[in-house]
Chains A and B, each alone.
Chain A
Amino acid sequence: MNNQLKRTPLNGVHRALGAKMVDFGGWDMPVQYSGIVDEHNTVRNSVGLFDVSHMGEIEIEGPDAIDLTDFVTTNAVRKMKDGQAHYSGLLYEHGGFVDDILVHRVSPARFFLCVNASNQEKDFEHIRNQNRFDCEARFASERYAQLAIQGPRALETAQKSTATDLSGIRYYWFADGEFAGVPARIAHTGYTGEDGFEIYVAPEHAVDVWNAILEAGKPFGIKPCGLGARNTLRLEAKMALYGHEIGASITPFEADLGWIVKMDKGEFTGRAALEKQLKKGVTRKLAGFEMRSRGIARDGYEVSIDGAAAGWVTSGSPSPTLNRNIGLALLPVERAKPGEKIQVTIRNQQVEAETVPTPFYKRTK
């Protein structure tokens, strides 16, 4: 094993459970335990538990914390209430993504950001470099482990470990309380398209909390789940993955994430470039597709339309829920609507596919 890889506090637990481990952006992470399809279906039908402690945390604190948070992110921070969370973008001046993040408002003077593992240092530098406000951005990743309980039985599972009334936490809100006997931030968020909670605790409690959740979920057949299932679940729900749907050369409008950009909220980093792009017109856009002929589209495969190169697959995979081969592709904007015939180049063969409405999967509430 590569000793350079970073480990979460649950590394030994994963190995003891027989997980298959992979190098995920410099982290030694479980890609699967019982199998991707089995874990995927467990989350869709019951409840699964993910170690996502590799994710980064950044805290913004001080009298002007709200001003810095609003300035460096695209979504409407000033409309948030204490205890509310939202999905947002950190952009470069040129409008491309530094990262996609979750912003939690603890108070106007205290914000808590959850960011992608492999971007955390870059994000922190990016935010700090723009801090001309009366507040401080702090790198906090080493103070948090994060566990995700996801699936239709997530609420019942999680409720057993806390006195906080979880049914009182609305979707994309959070509460600070105790979980499995230790201080925790309990967020009603997730990256699977199912209902669920993400629990932030101190790293030294991660193993105890993990075991408590597995015990609580036993009656529902809870299973530990790896990053493989996390990816197929998020793809079905059309949730973006940094480095795939988004990145430095892709703007929120191109990634079909216009809803996280509030152009009328005032100045923010990247706004001028986005305004220019809107004025000129967005030329390419993310679209969902399904394979119509035999073959699986994979990340990076070329897409052509009528024999001419038209874009590329940002994520592609078999969909365990739909039992079809699905994907997302960055296409010319006029072709990014459902019903367009496209061809995916799979090992030098053009294979038929068709754009479809997204998300591929939506849970029934």
Chain B
Amino acid sequence: MNYPEDYRYTKEHEWVHLAGDTATVGITFHAQEELGDIVYVDLPKPGQKVEKGKSFGSVESVKAVSDIYAPVSGEVIEVNEGLATAPEKLNEDPHKAAWLIKIRVDGSADFNSLLSAADYQSYIGAEA
């Protein structure tokens, strides 16, 4: 699986991509694979604040509920509304079309403290 080099990753299996002060956040291919058939996504509304390391929503498969954690702090400016009616997109294209939320980042933040694509892949390799 391709883990984009220009993304950063968390040990909780989120990815984040920064463009200017906007961070796009999703779950990783590995996360959706572990969850299986995703049937429900619970996301915050635009305007809500999220805090790095805190849960901002959840993804549910047939079998399990999984919290999603914010990789950066800031304000939610956009939510991927399509996922409410088509959560299975998270199984199909988790790194692109099925992004979850966009966050306006507070300050320059701690983006660099997150895992690189290579580090994340060795992390999940070690976990598996």
Contacts and interface: CB of A to CB of B under 8 A. Distances in A.
Interface of A: 20, 31-32, 35-38, 40, 228, 231-232, 294-296, 298, 317-318, 320, 347
Interface residues of B, number: 13
Interface in B55-109: 58, 60-63, 65, 84
Contacts of B39: 296, 318
Contacts of B36: 20, 32, 35-36, 228
A36 B37 CA distance: 7
Nearest to A37: B37
Contacts, number: 38
B62 A347 contact: no
Contacts of A295: 40, 42
B87 to A, nearest CB: 10
Contacts of A231: 63
B63 A31 contact: yes
Interface of B: 34, 36-37, 39-40, 42, 58, 60-63, 65, 84
Contacts of B65: 296, 298
Contacts of B63: 31-32, 36, 228, 231, 317
A318 B42 contact: no
13 contacts: A20-B34, A20-B36, A32-B36, A35-B37, A36-B37, A36-B62, A36-B63, A228-B36, A228-B63, A296-B60, A317-B63, A318-B39, A347-B42
Given A36-B63, A317-B62, A296 B40 contact: yes
A19 to B, nearest CB: 12
Nearest to A36: B62
Contacts of A20: 34, 36
A202 B20 CA distance: 65
B32 to A, nearest CB: 11
Contacts of B84: 294
A31 B63 CA distance: 9
Contacts of A31: 63
The residue among B37, B40, B65 with the most chain A CB atoms within 10 A of its own CB is B37
